[in-house]
Amino acid sequence: MTEVRRIVVDTDTGIDDAHTLLYLAGRADAEIAAITSVFGNCVEPDAARNIGYVTRLLGLDVPIARGASAPLTGTAHIAGYVHGKDGLGDVGYERPLPDVTGESAAELLVRLGREHPGELDLLALGPLTNLGLALRLDPELFTRYRSVVLMGGSGPYAPPGTLLMVDANINNDPEAAEAVFAAPRRELVMVGVNVTATTILDEVAIGALRAASNARFATEILDAYLDFYQEEWGRRVIPLHDPLAAGILLDPGFATAWMEGPVNVRTNGFMSRARLMRTHDGLPPAFPYRAAPPTKVVTAVDSARFVADFVDVLTRGN
Q: What is the mean pLDDT of the chain?
A: 97
- Give the mean model confidence (pLDDT) for residues 270-280: 97
Task: Return all residues near 27 (Cβ < 8 A) that are at least 6 apart.
Answer: 250, 313
pLDDT tens for 215-260 read: 999 999 999 999 999 999 999 999 999 999 999 999 999 999 999 9
Residue 237: Cβ within 10 Å count:
18
- Give the mean model confidence (pLDDT) for residues 17-32: 98
- Give me the number of domains the chain comprises: 1
- Give the mean model confidence (pLDDT) for residues 157-176: 95
Give the C-alpha distances (Å, rounded to integers) separating 124 from 107, 109, 192, 249, 281. 15, 11, 12, 11, 28
Nearest alpha carbon to residue 170 among 253, 268, 98? 268
Question: In this predicted structure, what is the pLDDT of residue 259?
Answer: 97
Partners of 157 in the β-ladder? 279
Q: How confident is the model at residue 163 (pLDDT cuts 50, 70, 90)?
A: confident
**Alpha-helix runs per DSSP H in the chain:** 15-26, 44-58, 80-83, 105-115, 129-137, 168-171, 174-182, 193-196, 203-210, 216-220, 222-233, 241-250, 303-315
Q: How confident is the model at residue 314 (pLDDT cuts 50, 70, 90)?
A: very high
Catalytic residues: 12, 241
Q: How confident is the model at residue 1 (pLDDT cuts 50, 70, 90)?
A: low
**Contact yes or no for 116/124 (Cβ under 8 A):** no
Q: How far apart are CA 222 and CA 228, in angstroms?
A: 10
Is the pLDDT higher at 145 or at 316? 145
Q: How far apart are CA 48 and CA 64, in angstroms?
A: 8
Nearest alpha carbon to residue 21 among 306, 252, 246, 309? 246
Q: How far apart are CA 214 and CA 208, in angstroms?
A: 11
Question: For 28, which DSSP code?
Answer: T
Quote the percentage of the chain above a pLDDT of 70: 99
pLDDT tens for 55-65 read: 999 999 999 99
**Contact yes or no for 12/126 (Cβ under 8 A):** yes
Q: How confident is the model at residue 297 (pLDDT cuts 50, 70, 90)?
A: very high
Q: Is the pLDDT of residue 122 over 70?
A: yes
Give the C-alpha distances (Å, rounded to integers) separating 211 from 81, 86, 99, 202, 239. 27, 26, 33, 14, 20
Domain that holds residue 107: 5-315
Q: How far apart are CA 139 and CA 248, in angstroms?
A: 26
Nearest alpha carbon to residue 189 among 114, 141, 259, 135? 259
Q: How confident is the model at residue 2 (pLDDT cuts 50, 70, 90)?
A: confident
Q: Is the pLDDT of residue 318 over 60?
A: no
Write the CATH number for 158: 3.90.245.10
Question: In this predicted structure, what is the pLDDT of residue 26?
Answer: 97
Question: In this predicted structure, what is the pLDDT of residue 8?
Answer: 99
pTM of this prediction?
0.98
